[in-house]
Amino acid sequence: MSNTTNAKIINQASALASCLMMLFSFGCATPHREPTKETLKQPRSSSPAMMSLSEMARNHHFLPSGENQAGRKVYRRGVTIVEVDPRSRVSYFDGKLVLMGRSPHRDGANLLVPKSLDQNFAALKVKPAAVRPRPTKRPEPKPIPSHVLGGKHFVIDAGHGGRDHGASRAGVMEKNVTLRVALEVAALLRRQGARVTLTRATDRKIELNRRARISNERHPDAFVSIHINSASNTLARGVEIYPARFRSRGQDADKLPRSNKLATALMRALRPITPGKDRGIKRSPGFRVLKLNNHPAVLVELGFVTHRGERRLLGSRAYQKRLAKALVAGIREFSRSI
């Protein structure tokens, strides 16, 4: 090989080496790029798929109505009913079965249900309650003076009210039953010449101390507090009466013996019309409406809302009127002794 050829080969090799060195240097000089913060972000967790049933119902203007016989939570708006089973995926919207995506569970006092149930509330065609024509207002009947009740004064206390529903089951609420019976008792007493003070005449909450204070301010011949009962044992039924057994400051001298007489007279009148057994006159555990009352006072439990048969009766207007008549008969009998 000639010297000229060798020189060409050497020059070409040197040029190739120079190119390789330049490429290597350029690659090494290129700075290493760190991932941006955006690529390091963790994906956001999806929002919880559960929501409070009571809040969901309230958003669609449905009101709680206790539990039905199957143990489902009941909500009403007009005559439209929603039922939700707290132990399974079953729910009913206006009678149509809707299976929830997952079973409800409790978070403290809240029952949480799948958020998807909100769509079923929104899709409901709410039917308004039938509008009943207003009855023509009848004049108040004139009192019929009675030598037994004439001039007597009684305070009738309808238990619970307002946000305080009392014992409730399958749409029967204590606050409603007690108010209807109390209003009927008041009307019957007034017709027979007695004066009556109602602690509440509408669906509103009255504090227990205030109920006793109303009685103490009016100085009645007797105070009758009306309630209905409940129990974990669904077979429990019958009437119970609690007379006052604690002394109070400024009380009538005969508060306790007269309370017992009133309880006995009321039980005697109620016994023939109530299907449950006579549960008797009980020792008051210290009910404030009795303990703080200065006058003869009793608390009457008219039956158990947790007993299916008794609940049906307690929700009946006809039976409520029979109870009211029996209470008035008991008050009349008591009044003969004072």
- pLDDT per position as a tens digit, 121-141: 998 887 776 666 666 665 655
Query: Does the pLDDT at position 40 exceed 90?
Result: no
pLDDT in tens, 285-314: 889 999 999 999 999 999 999 999 999 999
Whole-structure pTM value: 0.59
Where is 18: in which H helix or E strand?
helix 3-29
Least confident among 32-46, 181-195, 239-253, 270-284:
32-46
Query: What are the Cα distances from residue 44, in Å, to 41, 48, 196, 304?
Result: 9, 12, 65, 52
C-alpha–C-alpha distance, residues 30 and 58, integer Å: 63
Q: Which of 276, 259, 236, 277 is nearest to 337 (CA)?
A: 259
